[in-house]
Every structure is written in structure tokens, then in C-alpha cells.
Structure 1
Amino acid sequence: MSPVTYSRILLVILALWVVVGSADPAQDRSETREYFKQLFPQLTLQEYADGAYALDPIARSQWLEIEDFPPYEWAVENGKHLFHTPFKGGGRYTDCFPQPINKIRAQYPRVSVEGEVITLELALNQCRQKFQQPMLDYRRGEMAALSAYLAYLSRGEMLEMKTPSSEGEMKSYTAGKQFYYQRRGQLNFSCASCHVQSAGKRLRADMLSPMLGQVTHFPVYSGVWHEMGTLHRRFIGCLEQIRAPVFHAQSEQLRALEYYLSFMSSGIKLNGPAYRK
């Protein structure tokens, strides 16, 4: 069976998963990785962390030049200052994160005993609430800087997500998967329309990145935004591009989406923050 034929068969399988609403996370991940292995046999699993730059040699060369003097360096330094500066009235971020600082990013997202998806950014704002500090914007600014600092310290750490098994984990996983494959908006696109079925193809001048590894390099400095942005800011941007109803950053829906994508990318090393065009 040729790789092209096999890929087409797997695409049908992926579509059937959504229709029947099956939820076997380990099988989902295994079959999805096999699909991408057939689609891009030249890539190792770890190379998916580089997104479209793993597939486009010219864009990769330009990206590596930018990474020599990355525009997110200031955000990492600002995040370091913010993370270690005590809050007014007492307390600091380190009081909320007992893990070694270079292990913090890899602990998220996770599902609490109450069944809620806890992302890194949500945990940072929960820490602020604990010490009566105002909430930060989940999309940019200080939150993106804090996330950039913790991501930078965790570079090379493996994103290791245990297989969903509890009721809360399965509920969040299923919700995230359904969100990813559901068509929506005036363009009738799903996340998978671009990043599974059309991965590696071009949309105008840009190559569409594969699903695998999409969460490992956030937050990013975007050449479009001209500033740092979090993963949920990117989610919102995608919804706007397909003219679909937008969910707010750290909504239950987008946290479930992050949880699903993180499980699918489990086993890939973290490499954030990063530059993206």
C-alpha cells in the first residue's frame, strides 16, 4: 500500500472517530501519529516541535536567523523579574509553585480532582487571586512574559501527559477532541481542516503546520502581532480567521482544546518561547 493511499485511509478513520464520538485517547494518539508518519516520513517526532519550519527549508533558514537574536528575549527577562518580585502585601509566584522552576511548564495542562483543566496561565492568575492581586490579561502583556520565562527554563523538558482515565480527564479530552474536529464559522473549517487534512500545504504564502507539536513552542513573538502572545491568543485568532464565534481566553472550551492537543503532543520536548511569522 502506498503512503498516499494509506494516508487517505487514515483520514477516513479520523473522520469516523469524530462521527461516532469514540474516545480512546491512547489509540487516538497512536493512529494520529501513524497518519503523520505516513504523510511526512522524513520527520522524527521531535521535529514536529518546529511546526511548519520543519517542512519548509527556506522558511526554516529565515527562522533560524531570527532565532539567533530572538525578539522575545526581553519578554523572558521581564517574566523573570515579574516571577521573582514579591506581590504588594506579601507573597510571590514561587509560593504557589513548589516544583523546581525548570519543571513548572511541563506540569501543565492537567485536570484537577474537581475535573477542571488547569493551564499554566490559569494557575498563574489563580496565584495572583490567592494574594489579592488583579488578574492579568490571558492573551498578552505580563502573562505572556511570565509564560515565556517559564517556557524558556523548561526548554528540553519532555511534555509528558498521562493518558486520560478519570471522569474529569475523559470529559475534558473528549470535549477538546470534538472542538478540534468540529467545523464552524462562515468558512466551515475545523482546526483539523488546516492542521490534519491540509498539513504541509500552503494557504496563501504560509505553510500550514501539523497538529503535532503545536503547543510545545508557546508563547510566541508573532510577526503579525509585533508582540508576545499566548496559545489561547492564537486559538482566538484562528477562530476569527474562519469567521467563527470566538471563545474568550481560558474559557472551558479552549482549555479543553489545549488539554487535547497537549496529550497528542506528549513525548515531544518543549521548545518555547519561539518566533512565528
Structure 2
Amino acid sequence: MKTIALALWMIGTAGASQAATDDPLTKPMAVERAKEWLKPLPPEKVFGTSYLVGFGGLSVALIDTGAGLVLIDGALPQAAPAILANVRALGFDPKDIKYILSTEPHYDHGGGLAALARDTGATVVASARGAEGLRAGAMAADDPQLAYGGTWPGVERLRVVTDGEVLKLGRIAITAQATPGHTMGSMSWSWSACEGAICKAVVFASSLNPVTADGYRYTSAAGAPFVAGFEASQRRMDALPCDILISAHPDNAGEGRYSDKPGACRAYADRARGLLAKRLAGEKAGTVK
């Protein structure tokens, strides 16, 4: 049965890749790391009715609430057909996706949202700042990565949520967790996944990586709010109930597609602290481009 399922997944994703080239909302972005980020992977159960339907370098999660599906993130524009193929491979109908939650207004996580929303009828959910970027299909004027350039298909149907707001659907309640720093609109998402009487706290974490385009300085006046955002987000990750961590880029969470090691979210925060400290020290020493 596993062999048959794998064969059907390979056929579905191959067809999806071809369809992407003919659709203006899934027109491939010429991004240097696209091949690495979109390494094909079959869908995988995480725990309970929570799954991964993304790729080797970009996480996309799926939650079956019993009253509809929730997707988290949309990867690059050309990834949308493969994401939907993975949803189908799990036995679900993409038309049952009610919400698509966004972690950040960057093309590697939000580029596929417009196509996914169109093809499923789902509403995209984001922070206020995140929604601004997703509508425009472009980075904000204050984004540390702005000089990289790049635009993506804008999202029309959006719902704005605030920090701590709970999105309820079926038997699942998903909490919006503001985690600014990488962008000022970044949002992480947490929920409880259950198998019988056993429940685990799951966190889908936005990126906390202090990467920027050349010439940007976190030690500048413009960079100070982002440093404060990173520090607040690190503290939040320290405090969140977290039995399972899914990070927007899987390699940021350790080995594998997710981490269920004790203290995974605290380790994620500690990694981010180290990267930020290194970056700030490099800027002060003049070794950062």
C-alpha cells in the first residue's frame, strides 16, 4: 500500500509541476534557492490530525479540524500545485481548506498564497502588517531584506488577527503568536493536537533568523525596532507550551521536518539569540557587508 501511495504521490506532483508553468499565479520565481527550498517530499503525519504537506526547505502544515481544513504557509508561487497534490495524497479535498495561515509577508512563505486561496476558496489569515505585504505582494519599505527585491501574486481575501487571538474551527483552536523581528508582521501559530486522550502542544514558528540584504544594519535607528522584536519573540518561544516544533524553514529546528525533542522551542529561541548576537557583533566590528 505504501508503494502504491508513493507512486500516486509522484504522479500527482509531476502533474502539478507542469501545471504551475501555465498559470500566472504559480509562475515560477527565479529564486536562487528555489530548488533547495522546494525539494519534493511526500506528506507526513506529525501527530493526531496535524500533517506536513510542504518541502525539504519550506514547511507547510495541514490541520484537519473535523469541520474543515487549515493550511499554514504557502511557499513559493510555483509550489501551490504540489501542496494541493500533497493534500489530496492524504485523502483530503483541497476545497475543504477554510483558512490559510501566514507566518510572514515574504515570497518564500507567502508567494503561493494567492493561488492556494483561489483554488480552495479559503481565507488567508495574517497579522495587520503581514496582511499589508500579502495584499501588495511585496516587502514592506522597512523590511531588512527589501533590497533583495522580488514581487509575488497579491492576496485579495484576507482576515487580520491580533496577537493572542484564537481562531476556532471544529475541534481545533489555533492561537496567533506575534513573533516580530525577521519581519515586523511575522506571526507564529500554536494549537493542541490529540490522539485519543493524549494531546501535544504544537508550534508552527515563523523565522527568527536575522538575515538581511547587504548594507542593512540592525545597529542603526531603523534596525532597533527589529532587534527589540527579535528579543520579544525569543522570550515568547521560551515560554510557549511546545511538545512539537515546526519551523518555517525545517533546518532551523534541527534535523528532520519537525522536532519533538524536549525544549525544542527554547532551543529554537537560543539558536536565534546566538545568530542575532553574532550579527550585532559583526556590525560593530565592521565585518558585515
Q: TM-score range by the shorter chain?
A: under 0.3
Greater relative contact order: 1 or 2 (C-alpha under 8 angstroms, separation 6 or more)? 1
Structure that is richer in helix per residue: 1
Structure that is richer in strand per residue: 2
